[in-house]
Amino acid sequence: MKWNIGRLLQRLTLGLMCVVGSAGVAAADEKTDKVVQDGGMVLIPAGPFVMGSDKEPTQDESTGVGTTKPWYLDEHPSHQVVLSAYSIGRYEVTDAQYRNFVAATGHAPPVLWGKNGFLLSLRLADIFQLDVDVLRRLVVKVFKLDMDTTKMDKPALLDAISARLHYLEKEPVTDVNWYDAQAYCSWAGERLPSEAEWEKAARGVEGNEFPWGNKWGNALSNSGEEMWDDGVAPVGSYPMDKSPSGVFDMAGNVSEWVQDWYQPYPGATFKSDAFGEKSKVLRGAAWGREGHYAMHQFERTAYRFFQDPNASLEDVGFRCAKDAGVVASTRP
């Protein structure tokens, strides 16, 4: 019998939230790398830091780039901000962590999961019941694995699917809008970081230009220079993309939602029609956003961007934060 893969996916995902139990998700999560599961949060001590910059754009930097806003001007002026102690995610929230949220709450999963096959990780028992011919088509058509399946038996096919799902578990969740990110953090007993909290965690009290220091270096982060099959890399794949506080992937991988509306800084003279309660701030560069092809300007710790909070993009994710005194959390 020949199966239509589209109909098969529809059948497997029909009534998804009604049949997925927390035990099944927990079993799948046991395969997630320990570095992700135990990543936890990093405590950022109370105190001041310098936020923003006073850098001025040059013609050389702006020529031929096609940016949607002037370089640096929305970072003006640099100013001191004093923050209370807080904790922030060591890594971006992963697919595996977000899957727990989807299974527990019935929240709509990212559309991307239907394209890359990760949605089927919520129906593993059903996948194991499929016959060899259907599994072969899943491997090629859904999971898009570049392998000759014609001579693979059922155990080999299931191993290939399991390996792919395990890999996806470690990637940052993307294709989520600001409200999705906020809902996840709230469910986890946490919240989105403020823009100031994100920047302090990225640059430290030393005021680093980049998370690792003040000198740009090639291939230190996932910023479009290197090619990953999914664009994004598993969290923590770049050991040098680490802030003074020990927070990873703040220069590259995915841009991240924060709490704030896109507004001018106190004392700013730069004006923009985008300012106001229209767009939420995104922080950090990504593997493909804006076609920036590894331009170091996007990876600076002071760099700001903005997006409609309803937008969901394949290179935008998030991490959570919480007040230093908050210890309750439901996320893994």
Residues contacting residue 197 through CB under 8 Å, at least 6 positions apart = 44, 83, 86, 88, 258, 321
CA atoms within 13 A on the CB side of 259: 15
The model's pLDDT over 59-86, given as tens digits with 9 standing for 90+, comes to 767 655 656 788 899 999 999 999 999 9
What pTM, to 2 d.p., does this model score? 0.87
Among the three residues 153, 169, 185, which one is the final residue of a domain in this structure?
Answer: 169
Average pLDDT over residues 237-256: 96
Q: In whole angstroms, what is the distance from residue 307 CA to residue 330 CA? A: 28
User: In this structure, which amino acid lies at residue 279?
Assistant: S
- What confidence score (pLDDT) does residue 292 get? 47
Residues 183 and 307 in one domain: yes
- What confidence score (pLDDT) does residue 296 get? 81
Residues 84 and 136 in one domain: no
Residues 207 and 267 in one domain: yes
CATH code for position 298? 3.90.1580.10
Q: How many independent structural domains does the chain possess?
A: 2
SS3 119: helix
The model's pLDDT over 160-214, given as tens digits with 9 standing for 90+, comes to 999 999 999 999 999 999 999 999 999 999 999 999 999 999 999 999 999 999 9
Q: Which two tokens stand for residue 67?
A: 């940016």
The model's pLDDT over 134-160, given as tens digits with 9 standing for 90+, comes to 999 999 999 989 999 999 999 999 999
Among the three residues 150, 169, 188, which one is the final residue of a domain in this structure?
Answer: 169
Among the three residues 123, 153, 169, which one is the final residue of a domain in this structure?
Answer: 169
Q: In whole angstroms, what is the distance from residue 238 CA to residue 92 CA? A: 13
Residues 136 and 232 in one domain: no
CB 239 within 8 A of CB 249: no
Q: Residue 13: beta bridge partners?
A: none
- What confidence score (pLDDT) does residue 224 get? 75
Tell me, yes or no, whether 328 lies in a domain: no
Q: Is residue 195 left, alpha or beta, with left meaning phi > 0 and alpha meaning psi from -120 to 50?
A: alpha
CA atoms within 13 A on the CB side of 314: 11
> How far is the CA of 66 from the CAs of 23, 69, 105, 271, 312, in angstroms?
49, 9, 41, 19, 22
Residues 282 and 312 in one domain: yes
Residues 283 and 197 in one domain: yes
Residues 145 and 282 in one domain: no
Cα dihedral 217, 223, 225, 231 sign:
positive
Residues 180 and 316 in one domain: yes
